Amino acid sequence: MITAAAAVCISLAALPVSAEGTDDTLTDGLYSQYMIVVDADSDQVLAEKNPDERMYPASMTKMMTAIVAIENIKNYDETITITEEMIAGLAEENASRIAYSEGDEPVIRDLLYAVALPSAADATNALASKVAGGIDAYVDMMNQKAQQLGMNDTHFVNTSGLHDPDHYSTARDMAKLLNYCLQNDMFRDIFSTEEYHLGAVESFPDGIDIYSTAAVAAEKKEADISDMIGGKTGFTYEAGYCLAYWTQINKLNLIVVTGNAGGTMEDPLHVVDAEETMRRLHGWHRKTFFTAGEVMHTITVNHSFKHQEMIYIEAPEEFTLDLPEEWKTSVTCSLPDEVTTDFKEQEVTGALIVKGGDKVLYTKDFTITIPRERNFFARQWKRIKSWFSKDD
């Protein structure tokens, strides 16, 4: 007699595939010293290159500057009066800026676009003053947000990303930040804009057109970044050319962060890396290994008197991995197919292993409890009850 035991659900959280030893075709030959490619839907890491080494984020910092402002301001059409304190020293530091003058009154919405597109430091200072009363207090808010997001190797000392030895992050932390920011509708709309017209102020009576620095850099290099939905560049001499961007390719929702690429202002190599990375990503797709409720493995439990139970190991949700299309994959489970019970519960261990060719892409270790053998009296009582339940 065979009966079915309750199904056992095993969670299959996606692990960083690159950490399991996949090939590094996404990072080979690129100029950037730091890099990470993350699936924003599953958190799967497709590729990485020194992702946890400290780097200088330069103007990628402004992603944090923008999201803190967006989350703490209710009226984006309110104006802010530019003061001397907001713009002091920026020209001397060669910081990117709109060149607002003291007394200009831009609306907050324009300042947010100025932060994201041309990377304007005068706009970041104006937002800091509005939200926190000053830059130092605002930077404290940025660092608090970083800790909330699990950006454990990130520290900010300014709102703009201008170089400071104590202003640092990692490619992985910057990817966490961008993934979080993209959950915000306002940020996502701004981030995915290439061109915007700033409204009139005293210094610019007709307003002024601003452009995404990523688009400008790509035009200089004649790089095709048409798959990029939005991006935030960064540059200081110490940081090199940096870029954090969002792309969707073959239904993959991806975040890419690169840092310290070489080049010059007229020859920026971060967009070259972006063009090549997105070209390579066209060879990737999402493969489904198990759907929700699908049985991944079955264990036959042999009791005494020819009594058997079946334990079904099920996936509680869909399990997918992003993989190169040409990879031939296989799935194996090392749990036993059959066990014999004792009068005590038993534990059996095993692993689910996904391979691409000879390389292990994913492993999941788990332990299954095998129910104990029923005692003699319990078996007899069950048998008697079954007799009386039979039809005459």
- pLDDT tens digits for 175-212? 999 999 999 999 999 999 999 999 999 999 999 999 99
- pLDDT tens digits for 103-161? 999 999 999 999 999 999 999 999 999 999 999 999 999 999 999 999 999 999 999 99
Spatial distance between the Cα atoms of 180 and 142, rounded to a whole number of angstroms: 14
Question: Would you state the pLDDT for residue 392?
Answer: 46
Catalytic residues: 59, 62, 119
User: Strand 252-261 to strand 34-39: parallel, antiparallel, or no bridges (unpaired)?
Assistant: antiparallel
Spatial distance between the Cα atoms of 358 and 120, rounded to a whole number of angstroms: 49
pLDDT of 384 above 80: no
Question: Would you state the pLDDT for residue 9?
Answer: 82
- pLDDT tens digits for 21-74? 556 789 999 999 999 999 999 999 999 999 999 999 999 999 999 999 999 999
Spatial distance between the Cα atoms of 350 and 88, rounded to a whole number of angstroms: 63
Q: Which residues contact 27 (CB under 8 A, 6 or more apart)?
A: 35, 47, 48, 49
What would the CATH number be for the domain defined by 31-281?
3.40.710.10
Closest CA to 113 of 191, 177, 229, 58: 191
pLDDT of 383 above 80: no
Query: Does 23 or 266 have the greater pLDDT score?
Result: 266
Domain ranges for the chain: 2-15+288-388, 31-281
Query: Does 323 or 6 have the greater pLDDT score?
Result: 323
Report yes or no on whether pTM surpasses 0.75: yes
User: What share of the chain in percent tops pLDDT 70?
Assistant: 90
